[in-house]
Copies of this chain bind each other. A is one copy, B any other.
């Protein structure tokens, strides 16, 4: 192999954190929060999912406290939104892809961290989903909005599918250097099809 999974995970973790921070900053900007509020929402969106996972599995201090790069990336994201948010609109498609990459990476990394804390496989997959999705959930709660992932987009399911696929390939003996890119592509395709063909999970007809 010309690369190790660790190399990719580091790069993709940075990309995911930046995209999540930008998504938080944009949501907070639309709510007309001030710069401090924007920064707090951006940071919480970027690290919130992993924070909840760490609290649930009992990993403390929470992961982001062990490195300054989450704060630095958040500040970069906030500055990008502050100065270049109009230009950012042009890269919508790239963002969508980066967001799917971040979702998949956070789901896989979150699941692996849970496994390393002896959480059983089913709940480790759930921890992966939480790592990928719950940052956006907290963002929406703090912005006083109904969480997006509950309604409009098939978002939690691809995270669940990605974490499950990665774990399944691992059981089949596939090495991470192979299963990681496969899983990420799976999550991206899931998201692309869901949005392009307007997939909707069934709702409960209450009337």
Binding site for B on A (CB under 8 A): 25, 28-38, 40-41, 51, 55-58, 60-62, 65, 68, 71, 81-82, 85, 117, 119-120, 122-123, 126, 137, 141-147, 149-151, 154, 156-157, 200-204, 206
Contact = CB atoms under 8 A, between A and B. Distances in A.
A201 B61 contact: no
Given A35-B201, A204-B29, A142 B147 contact: yes
A201 B36 contact: yes
A25 to B, nearest CB: 8
B206 A33 contact: no
Given A34-B150, A35-B203, A57-B61, 17 more contacts: A25-B204, A28-B150, A29-B206, A30-B206, A31-B146, A31-B151, A32-B203, A33-B150, A36-B201, A37-B150, A37-B151, A56-B60, A56-B61, A57-B65, A85-B204, A141-B141, A142-B147
A137 to B, nearest CB: 8
Given A68-B122, A123-B65, A141-B142, A150 B204 contact: no
A147 B40 CA distance: 11
A49 to B, nearest CB: 13
8 contacts: A31-B146, A32-B206, A33-B150, A55-B55, A57-B60, A68-B122, A137-B142, A144-B144
Contact of A37 (B71, B122, B149): B149
